[in-house]
Structure 1
Amino acid sequence: MNVSGERLDSEWVRGWCEETTAALKTVMSSHLPTHGFPPGDNAVVLATDESSKATDALVNLTPIPSDLTTLYWVMGEASLPDVEHGYFIHSASTVADHFRDYGAVQVDDDPSAIVFASDGGGHLFAVSGSGRVWKSITASWFGDFEVAAESVQGFLEQVGPSRCR
């Protein structure tokens, strides 16, 4: 597990994407018989030339934690509406749009944390300069945030393949 202070490794992210995609295929094949309705669009989308340009634009817009940059060099976005109550890792272009509209969010250890994900309940996930991932207590950009994971890798471990089973 990535501990605070260590940088996220792009090969680890690539492996996470592959494992999560494989786990989603297995779970989604049994979703209809298990739940009585078809699954949503669950997908991990790898980075493309277009998403890489959006990552560059985001980096130029605001200083973002290096782990978030690494994440976006490998993965364009993830939509996991049927994993627990839903998780969504926003695209770099969406993060930039939200930053322009709402700015950074205030968390305990950094006044400029960047929102990069959300859950099915509207809670937001932001990564701070320390690398910690914070979750909004309410579905609001302007409320309090609490620590959700010590790193982006820790956050991905929480929402990835083990949750898709």
Structure 2
Amino acid sequence: MPGERLDAEWVRSWWEQTDAALTRLMQSFLPTHGFPPGHNAVMLATDDSHQATDALLDLTPIPSDLTTLYWVISKASLPDVDSGYFIHSPATVAEHFREYGPAPMDGESIALIFASDGGGHLFAIGDSGQVWKSTTASWSDDFEVAAASLQKFLEQLGRLIANQL
């Protein structure tokens, strides 16, 4: 819903549900796929990741939903979910911002790359709160809306995990 912002308690609840679903998925992965899974986890925020989030805020204004996300989780590595999904740490987001600058998004005053998939597509969040996905594996190509909000993006990711059970 436009105007609504991500709530830290909702993110914590999402993490709990996702962690439980990932545990079940990893237990069934080898018998289902015939090979062992990679390391799949959503990591909770730490003092170090909070400091990295603060440093990112000092570097550039970031969408408030991204700040909320990073206050609860530090990153996610989900190589065995669909084609793979990765929520980058705040330190990685800052490093990429320094190297590449903001994602080129019409209608967004700032858009930060915060995630990627196993195919090299990038996900950015703009100051509007929308999540965008690159149309190719490139920092400079077109982006299209992938989710109306970061919460919707996380809900979609949760459904991808659940659909693999």
**Who is 2:26 aligned against?**
28
Deviation at 1:163, TM superposition (A): 1.6
User: Taking structure 1 as the reference length, what is the TM-score of the superposition?
Assistant: 0.96
**Who is 1:100 aligned against?**
98
One-letter identity of the residue aligned with 2:129: G
**Who is 1:164 aligned against?**
161
**Who is 1:61 aligned against?**
59
Mind listing any 5+ residue stretches in structure 2 that lack a counterpart?
A: none
**Who is 1:150 aligned against?**
148
Partner Cα separation in structure 2 for residue 120 and residue 4 of structure 1: 29
**Structure 1 position 110 matched with structure 2 position 108:** yes
Partner Cα separation in structure 2 for residue 34 and residue 6 of structure 1: 39
Q: 2:39 aligns with which of 38, 41, 46?
A: 41
Is the Cα contact below 8 Å between 1:105 and 1:111 reproduced in 2? no
Is the Cα contact below 8 Å between 1:42 and 1:79 reproduced in 2? yes
Tell me the matched-pair count. Answer: 162
Deviation at 1:108, TM superposition (A): 2.4
Provide the alpha-carbon RMSD of the alignment.
Answer: 0.7
Is the Cα contact below 8 Å between 1:13 and 1:71 reproduced in 2? yes
Q: Identity of counterpart residues, as a percentage?
A: 67
Deviation at 1:109, TM superposition (A): 1.7
**Structure 1 position 119 matched with structure 2 position 114:** no
Which is worse superposed, 115-124 or 101-110? 101-110
Partner Cα separation in structure 2 for residue 31 and residue 4 of structure 1: 37
**CA shift digits 1:132-163 (9 cap, x unpaired):** 00000000000000000010001000112x22
Is the Cα contact below 8 Å between 1:31 and 1:38 reproduced in 2? yes
Q: Secondary structure in 2 aligned to 1:101?
A: helix
Partner Cα separation in structure 1 for residue 110 and residue 44 of structure 2: 27
Deviation at 1:4, TM superposition (A): 2.1
Is the Cα contact below 8 Å between 1:58 and 1:92 reproduced in 2? yes
Partner Cα separation in structure 2 for residue 131 and residue 164 of structure 1: 23
User: Taking structure 2 as the reference length, what is the TM-score of the superposition?
Assistant: 0.96
Deviation at 1:61, TM superposition (A): 0.3
Is the Cα contact below 8 Å between 2:62 and 2:110 reproduced in 1? no
Q: 2:8 aligns with which of 10, 15, 22?
A: 10
Q: Which has the higher contact order (CA 8 A, sep 6+)?
A: 1
Is the Cα contact below 8 Å between 1:114 and 1:127 reproduced in 2? yes
**CA shift digits 1:77-121 (9 cap, x unpaired):** 011111111110000000000000100011122142100000000
Partner Cα separation in structure 2 for residue 4 and residue 42 of structure 1: 31
One-letter identity of the residue aligned with 1:163: L
